[in-house]
Structure 1
């Protein structure tokens, strides 16, 4: 299927690894021009180098950074058609999971919302004038199934993503008539650095439950989250849904949420 993305200009945040890297790679394969925004590059991102890829080094916890990334995209490629707000999860320097409501303090809550909600607000605010000039504009916000499944773990993160889902629907209602589609993709547990890096979620959970990191990722976490596929989601599986949603082939899809979570989220 031709996704009609050749020549389109996309900005992807959190683009150096995991889901963001997979989105960048897939967009490039479809012929899009991509600005990859992240605090630093990575060998995997560098391997994609070419005339249709530009990296912008930004820290999205800086309130000025989202606008700088948008400006870089327009300056480099002359337009902006697609915004993928993928950056999120633990703010820089924070390790998740955190257990219990009383564990995060006011500063933790503020940092979590700043990274997972306010950075997205700032990016969309900066991008909208350019997206409104496009004939096929699309925004995809990457959320989480945890926004729908409250639990006494990562409660600040889940709340921030629930707010992001609400924002997505409000934006789709306001800007859909003006030609900007806004959708949300909600992964479950994805096999990314959040889980796999040393000291990451797999190690935290292994210590909490008296097992080892491989067992956590291969069986314990999927079982605890009741993922019916029995495994963590692969980043490419999320990226495929994101790229389909930003394609003009999805021209009548807006204000929708797509779960890519191995059956974690169960609700009507």
Structure 2
């Protein structure tokens, strides 16, 4: 299926690994001119993708990213707010409401909500000048599945969902669609890196990190597929929502979560 993305300019944040890298690759394969945003470049980005080094914890960074996209490619048609998860230097999961302090909460919202708000604020005027565009915000199933684990992260992503809905209502009539993709647990370095989630859970449960990834985590999170989500599966949903082929889809939330979310 032709996603009609050829020649469109797409900004993807958190594009050096995991979901963001998969999204950048997929959009590039579909012919988009991709601006990949991350603190450092990876050699895994496809040839022709423009990398812009930026730390989105810096409030001034989003405007600089959009300025560079306009300088290089003339505008922005697609914005994928994928940067998120544990803020730099933070390891998740954290268990219990009393565990994160004020600084933890502030860093979590800065990285998972405010960075996306600022990216949207910078990109919207450019999109409107071009007659519209598509914003895809990468949220999380934890936004609608509250619990004692990672409460600050879930709250930040819940706020992201609210912002997405509000934006879709305000800017849909002006040609900008805003949608959300909510992954479940995805097999990225959040889980696999030394000291990552698999090691943390293994330490809590007294088990083996490989067993956590292969069986314990899917069972604990009641994934009906029996495995963690693959980054490419999330990227495929993002690409479809970014595409003009989804022209009547706005204000929607797509769960790509292995059956994690049970609510109707």
User: TM-score range with shorter-chain normalisation?
Assistant: over 0.9
Confirm or deny that 1:182 pairs with 2:185: no
Deviation at 1:133, TM superposition (A): 2.0
| Deviating 4+ runs (over 3 angstroms) | none
SS in 2 for 1:44: coil
Q: TM-score, normalised by structure 1?
A: 0.97
Measure the CA separation in 2 of the matches of 1:168 and 1:42: 29
Which residue of 1 is the match for residue 39 of structure 2?
A: 39
Q: Show CA shifts across 1:145-170 (max 9, x none).
A: 00111010100000000000000000
Provide structure 2 residue ranges, at least 5 long, that are not aligned to the other structure.
none
Q: Does the CA contact (< 8 Å) of 1:136 and 1:248 recur in 2?
A: no
Measure the CA separation in 2 of the matches of 1:43 and 1:151: 37
Which residue of 1 is the match for residue 79 of structure 2?
A: 83
Measure the CA separation in 1 of the matches of 2:242 and 2:223: 27
Instruction: Please list, as runs of the form range in 1=range in 2, the aligned pairs for 1:86-165 lying within 5 A after superposition.
Output: 86-165=82-161
Instruction: Please list, as runs of the form range in 1=range in 2, the aligned pairs for 1:1-268 lying within 5 A after superposition.
Output: 1-45=1-45, 48-50=46-48, 53-268=49-264
SS in 1 for 2:129: coil
Measure the CA separation in 2 of the matches of 1:66 and 1:199: 30
Measure the CA separation in 2 of the matches of 1:131 and 1:17: 26
Q: Does the CA contact (< 8 Å) of 2:76 and 2:126 recur in 1?
A: yes
Q: Show CA shifts across 1:66-106 (max 9, x none).
A: 11111111111111100000000000000000010000000
Deviation at 1:135, TM superposition (A): 3.7
Q: TM-score, normalised by structure 2?
A: 0.99
RMSD, matched Cα: 0.7
Q: Show CA shifts across 1:111-134 (max 9, x none).
A: 000100000110000000011123
> What number of residue pairs does the alignment pair up?
264
Provide structure 1 residue ranges, at least 5 long, that are not aligned to the other structure.
none
Deviation at 1:136, TM superposition (A): 4.7
